[in-house]
Amino acid sequence: MKKVLLTLFIAFGYFVSLAQPSIIMQKTFGGSGEDYSYSISPTSDGGSIVAGWSDSPDGDKLVSLGLQDYWILKLNSLGNIQWQKSLGGTNNDNAFAIKQTTDGGYIVAGGSYSNDGNVTGNNGDEDFWIVKLNHQGIIKWQTSLGGSGQDYAYDVVQTSDGGYLVAGTTYSSDGDVIGHHGGADYWVVKLGKGGNVQWKRALGGSGEDMAWSIQNVVAGGYIVAGWSNSNDGDVTGSLGDYDYWVVRLRKNGTVKWQKSFGGSGEDRAFSVDVRSDSGFVVAGFSTSTDGDVTGNQGGRDYWVAKLSNIGKLQSQNSFGGTSEDVATNVEQSTDGGFIISGYTQSNDGDVSFNNGFVDYWLVKTDNSLAIEWEKSLGGSGDDAPGKGYQTASSGYIIPGRSNSNDGDVTGHKGNGDYWIVELSTINAKSIVEEMNQLPNEELKQHSGDFNIFPNPASDYFNCEFVSNSDEPIAISLIDLSGRIVLRQSVQVKEGYNLIQKDVSKLAKGIYYLHIESSEKNSYIKVLVK
């Protein structure tokens, strides 16, 4: 097909204000059993990779290997399944973390009781089970790590040398585990590219110490967060009951510093993120009303703490109502604030609305931890989230489990389902309504930023532009009903860029291409013929 540069129509001066987001996609996946998606990560093609566990023998799940399987879903940008894999053996296998790797494949971490099927080398009871997949979900290698007690991995990151760092908890004092302090310990294991163990560290005291989140630190080393009720061994400064316990590790796994945060109540951290200023932000829940914690509104509240790069508490805030509010993930947002997700049973205090028993609850704060907006998601049943991520279009994707079939949830399969929700601060329907009201003479021709060709398009269109930075942009194609039919985050390079999009399967008609960068939002009229 001959490519001829055609006229581009674009509306200037239409900017989206940051407001409470709306659902632009929600999908349920599963069968008649229990299906719980706990981790979702972005993929380089604009889609997502999802991990959790399932005991369903039917429905969307094509293969069942045992009691509970790792269930991996590769989704496209619209949330549709591209492929799926069941991993495990005849016993319980629960995946808690998945990330795309630099080779285009995936690394999965969780716990397994199996010693058959895909699983080999189980040391007894539950082991860390780490699986490396290629880009099609085929196992490249797998390894079981642990001892005769319970050992379960909750998070994994790829390291700068191409290997992997896995964090979780061990109750073992034998097998692969050395230096166990008693009770449960943080257990951090460094793996090479092929899954070989390079080093391992048991951290904690004589009590219960459970690591839930780990991140690379730009300056070198790693940050680990979870909770502890120890006050001996590696743990100092206990404030009472369970505390947030944050540990900074050097590259070789030795402790650089460790800090306890909380009060006399129960304080448990589930997530840590590295801030743009090299400090850290930690989130979980707290029942404390003293010590480091202020503002508790009753029961368990989200508790978010900002730390300096040496572990000094800089600021903190509590969010919730009089019932149970538990944060499972925190991430610094592109505007310097924070997005905190978890679940709520409250319907008062900071929680403006609850759909039913348990809801996903999303809180957006500014950099000082003051609430900018909050949103509950779910139905009349139990809707409990895992760990999501922020999209390039200032939105958020959250995985989890739902047994609702009303409210925000449709397509329930039975018992608990994977429930994936994508939110956006962009109101596509409002965009279309406003654009449709503009007379053609007010749609100004634009030749300097984004060019679309061919336009009209039948099989594909190209979007060419020159970028002043290498920051990602978000592309959405919106039909006249306000439905987003194509969505993708695109990593651009400084200078000339050319993106090609397939529109061969779209209905003929008028669409608006929304392009969001850090500088502005552009809306381009595209005709598919």
> Mapping DSSP to helix (H, G, I), strand (E, B) and coil, where does residue 89 land?
coil
| Tokens (6 digits) for 430 | 């409002």
CA distance 147 to 127: 7
> Mapping DSSP to helix (H, G, I), strand (E, B) and coil, where does residue 303 land?
strand
Burial class of residue 436 in the structure, from the number of CB atoms within 10 Å of its CB (0-12 exposed, 13-18 middle, 19+ buried): exposed
Q: How far is CA 257 from CA 202, 246, 327, in A?
A: 15, 8, 24
- Taking the alpha carbons at both ends of the chain, their separation in whole angstroms is 14
Long-range contacts of 193-197 (CB under 8 A, 24+ apart): 193/161, 193/162, 193/163, 194/141, 195/130, 195/132, 195/141, 195/142, 195/143, 195/164, 197/143, 197/145
Backbone angles phi, psi at 428, to 5 degrees: -60, -40
- pLDDT at res. 297: 96
Per residue of the chain (529 residues), give pLDDT as tens. Answer: 222 222 222 222 233 334 578 888 899 999 999 999 999 999 988 899 999 999 999 999 999 999 999 999 999 988 999 999 999 999 999 999 999 999 999 999 999 999 999 999 999 999 999 999 999 999 999 999 999 999 999 999 999 999 999 999 999 999 999 999 999 999 999 999 999 999 999 999 999 999 999 999 999 999 999 999 999 999 999 999 999 999 999 999 999 999 999 999 999 999 999 999 999 999 999 999 999 999 999 999 999 999 999 999 999 999 999 999 999 999 999 889 999 999 999 999 999 999 999 999 999 999 999 999 999 999 999 999 999 999 866 689 999 999 999 999 999 999 999 999 999 877 677 777 777 776 654 444 333 478 889 989 999 999 998 888 887 788 888 888 777 788 777 888 888 999 998 998 889 998 988 887 766 677 788 899 9
In terms of phi and psi (left: phi > 0; alpha: psi -120 to 50; beta: otherwise), the region of 329 is beta
| Tokens (6 digits) for 16 | 């989206």
Domains of the chain: 9-13+429-528 (2.60.40.3080), 204-377 (no CATH)
451 neighbors 2 (Cβ within 8 angstroms): no
253 forms beta bridges with: none
**Nearest one of 369, 321, 376, 299 to 343, comparing CA atoms:** 376
| Tokens (6 digits) for 523 | 């809306």
- pLDDT at res. 467: 85
- pLDDT at res. 525: 84
Answer whether the bond into residue 472 is a cis peptide, omega within 30°.
no
- pLDDT at res. 6: 24
